[in-house]
Structure 1
Amino acid sequence: MKLGEWIGLISILATFYILWSIRAILLLVFMAVVFAIALNSLARRLQQSGIPRRFAIPTVLSITFLLITLFFLGVVPPFVEQFSLLIDLIIDASRKLPETLAQLETYLPDQLRFPELNEFLDWVTSPDSAVLDVFNNFFSFFNSSLRVLLQVLLVMILSLMFLGNPSTYRNSLLRLIPSFYRRRADGILQDCEIALCNWMGGIVLNSVFIFSLSFVGLALLGIKLVLAHALIAGVLNFIPNVGPSLSVIFPATVALISPEPWKIVPVIIWYVIIQQIESYWLTPTVMARQISLPPAFTLIAQICFATIFGFLGLVLALPLAVVAKIWLQELLVKDVLDHWEIPDFRPWKPALAGIPEDTDPLLEETKLSQTITPSPNETNSPTKE
């Protein structure tokens, strides 16, 4: 390798090292970009109604500030009060856990009282048990509230800066891309913006739906701290797969330690019904325009981004996965792999499956789908061979 090539390689490695070192800050920047895109989408809708942009942006910011103020004045104080009571109830329940398990053991039949179960119960009920430590220290992460507040403040400031003049930051990003690909990259960024707007609108509607049904159902069942449970369920809905499962823990725990522990059964059933309605009816309806991701890809993305970025990566796993999918599909698949032709290169051997060797499986699948599904211009005549 020549000296220039070595310098280029070292520069690339140094760039990746710096990006890896500041990955937490980059994730906050990405969150700010998502909020700025959402606010910019609202400003554009006001512009379409005839309002100039210099008036549309202050209007959007004023409405957003008013909603945030009403939220903090009307919802946050009772939520904090109920959440504090919820923490106290769970801590008290963890302290009474040995006694509760001992009582449950007396109701077990003799066939289920094997030595391993007794050893497990003795370990759980011991004063030095790690299980009790987990319950007692479950909410210890709230001690870092100052750091979280500073991160939220940083995201809000960056969002306002991006919203003020988004074209400047977008053009600066496009400058880092080779000139021959800038027009194409600008189109990919436009697709990412549309996908993120669809995700933001859909997830907000889903969260409001989950909050409303949780509040109504728990109120009818007579569960304590209804507002805290419902708001937690709505917020955790931002985390696919994991959030809905975690949201049922708090009301189920409160129902179990209440004077009527049988209520835990209808609570779990109600949350299962809510999630089924949200998964099979609301999400396909609200997010019909959103780029769909297979469930396995979503779970893999959650694991990867949570490993790299921590809890915040788990929360933002879905928008990160949507953006990554668009770039991979447009840049790698359409612009590279679909045009990558090597003469006399046949890695796939369809003859082993009884298919002619000159058959491309992707092209044949496309032809088959076009044959089975007639186009809108065709009549109801039989499908042509």
Structure 2
Amino acid sequence: MNTLPKPVWVMISLALIVLVIHMLAPILMPFLLAAVLAYMGDPLADRLEARGMARTWAVVTVFACLSLCGFLLLVITLPLLIEQLQLLMERLYDGLRWLQSTALPKLRGYLDLPEQTEPMDAARSAISQHWQSAGGILFYLWDKVSGSSLVLVAWLANITLVPVVTFYLLRDWDVLMAAIRNLLPRSIEARTVLIAQQCDEILGAFARGQLLVMLALAAVYTVGLWVVGLDLALVLGIAAGLASIVPYLGVIVGIAAAGTAAFFQFDGLWPLAGVAAVFGVGQLLESMLLTPMLVGEKIGLHPVVVIFAILAGGQLFGFVGILLALPFAAVIKVMINHLHDEYKLSGFYGAVPAAPEVSESDD
């Protein structure tokens, strides 16, 4: 009986994994979120366990800290976010009105263009009707989420399932990793563990370190914009902090959005200078303190790779693909590094033979 080559089996296995993820995507979201939280909390639980605490109590401590932080963050920021999102919609409406009444007439006069106000009127009318019919952007999103009783029940079940699965995964994380290692064929076990450790270094530096950097920058930007007096300080500070998942993107997004908001809110250039100073200080803190201390010298994933992985994962598998994007990118990066090393050592690559030395007697 003829057997297929190993590469063929590998390709078949990968295709089956992709197919299963695609078919189970609607129910995978809470499990993947729980796996991400357990992965991020496992090092802290290991440290507590190394200091003599039982694994269960270490997990309970970490889980309680994560739950308390999440609850406080939700209670403190949610009312402010609702208020600021409503204010953001009002500012967008005012911006459209200013664009139609001031900017476009000047532009038409400068370019000698005919009067045409229908597109801006239509845009403003669409925003107004959309806002009034939904009662606010959050109420509109809630209406979409809870459009049917089954969707609402599934949504609540997923939210409830995340902390439960997180607790059990965090408690048995080391046991699961050991079981997976024992299932590996002995011929590839050492190489696979080496690749997994390298992937863990990349993901650990990015997922844990970069998340802390994002949260710290969000706090710095929010406080700084609040000191400047910007009404949308919370929304814009959080948005700029989250955008910092890609280096320099948070600064670009933050300056553009906060500068525009300051332009409509204040008269004069000093608030704009204050906005620039806030993001300048944030960038200095990120490059000189936060990234070296929390992430390390090398994240391992290029910013372009991060952007492409997140967009590709979202396009292929939705939110599940976004959660899986960075782990897959890390695995692919490590595999490419190993293939590159093997290629450099292969006979196909081959070193260029050195030119024979010419002795003085041959002259």
TM-score of the pair, normalised by structure 2 = 0.72
Which among 203, 210, 217 is matched to residue 217 of structure 2?
210
Is contact 1:255–1:264 with CA below 8 Å preserved after alignment? yes
The equivalent residue for 2:300 is 292
Q: Give the Cα–Cα distance (whole angstroms) in 2 for the partners of residues 230 and 265 of structure 1.
A: 15
> Structure 2 regions of 5+ residues with no counterpart?
132-136, 357-363
The equivalent residue for 2:53 is 51
Which among 251, 258, 271 is matched to residue 251 of structure 1?
258
Which one-letter code corresponds to 1:47 in the other structure?
E
Which among 302, 308, 331 is matched to residue 316 of structure 2?
308
Is contact 1:223–1:254 with CA below 8 Å preserved after alignment? yes
Does 2:343 match 1:337? yes
Question: How far did 1:266 drift?
Answer: 2.1
The equivalent residue for 1:276 is 283
Does 2:243 match 1:236? yes
Q: Give the Cα–Cα distance (whole angstroms) in 1 for the partners of residues 160 and 270 of structure 2.
A: 41
Secondary structure of 2:265's counterpart equals coil
Question: How far did 1:57 drift?
Answer: 0.9
Q: Give the Cα–Cα distance (whole angstroms) in 2 for the partners of residues 324 and 25 of structure 1.
A: 25
Q: Give the Cα–Cα distance (whole angstroms) in 1 for the partners of residues 321 and 274 of structure 2.
A: 30
The equivalent residue for 2:191 is 184
Q: Are residues 207 and 126 of structure 1, via their aligned partners in 2, closer, same or farther at CA, if it must alter by over 3 Å?
A: closer
Q: Give the Cα–Cα distance (whole angstroms) in 1 for the partners of residues 207 and 280 of structure 2.
A: 24
Does 2:36 match 1:34? yes
1:184-234: per-residue Cα shift (whole Å, max 9, x none)? 322332333343333233223322431233233222322113233323333
Is contact 2:214–2:245 with CA below 8 Å preserved after alignment? yes
1:79-137: per-residue Cα shift (whole Å, max 9, x none)? 3222322233223433443113245448xxx7xx235xx37x847854335x9858987
Q: Are residues 169 and 244 of structure 1, via their aligned partners in 2, closer, same or farther at CA, if it must alter by over 3 Å?
A: farther
Is contact 1:90–1:135 with CA below 8 Å preserved after alignment? no
Root-mean-square deviation (CA), in Å?
4.2
Higher helix share: 2
> Structure 1 regions of 5+ residues with no counterpart?
359-385
Q: Give the Cα–Cα distance (whole angstroms) in 1 for the partners of residues 293 and 159 of structure 2.
A: 31
- More displaced 10-residue stretch of structure 1: 90-99 or 305-314: 305-314
The equivalent residue for 1:219 is 226
Question: How far did 1:290 drift?
Answer: 4.5
Q: Are residues 15 and 236 of structure 1, via their aligned partners in 2, closer, same or farther at CA, if it must alter by over 3 Å?
A: closer
The equivalent residue for 1:127 is 121
Is contact 1:191–1:326 with CA below 8 Å preserved after alignment? yes
Q: Are residues 134 and 197 of structure 1, via their aligned partners in 2, closer, same or farther at CA, if it must alter by over 3 Å?
A: farther
Secondary structure of 1:75's counterpart equals helix
Which one-letter code corresponds to 1:181 in the other structure?
I
The equivalent residue for 1:368 is none
Secondary structure of 2:122's counterpart equals coil
- More displaced 10-residue stretch of structure 1: 196-205 or 301-310: 301-310
Secondary structure of 2:195's counterpart equals helix
Q: Give the Cα–Cα distance (whole angstroms) in 1 for the partners of residues 17 and 317 of structure 2.
A: 18
Corresponding residue pairs, total: 338
Q: Are residues 4 and 154 of structure 1, via their aligned partners in 2, closer, same or farther at CA, if it must alter by over 3 Å?
A: farther
The equivalent residue for 2:360 is none
Does 2:162 match 1:165? no
Q: Give the Cα–Cα distance (whole angstroms) in 1 for the partners of residues 340 and 28 of structure 2.
A: 26
Q: Give the Cα–Cα distance (whole angstroms) in 2 for the partners of residues 274 and 124 of structure 1.
A: 43
Does 2:319 match 1:322? no
Q: Give the Cα–Cα distance (whole angstroms) in 2 for the partners of residues 271 and 31 of structure 1.
A: 33
Secondary structure of 2:332's counterpart equals helix
Is contact 2:225–2:278 with CA below 8 Å preserved after alignment? no
The equivalent residue for 2:203 is 196
Q: Give the Cα–Cα distance (whole angstroms) in 2 for the partners of residues 163 and 136 of structure 1.
A: 47
Is contact 1:35–1:159 with CA below 8 Å preserved after alignment? yes
Which one-letter code corresponds to 1:65 in the other structure?
S
Is contact 2:209–2:295 with CA below 8 Å preserved after alignment? yes
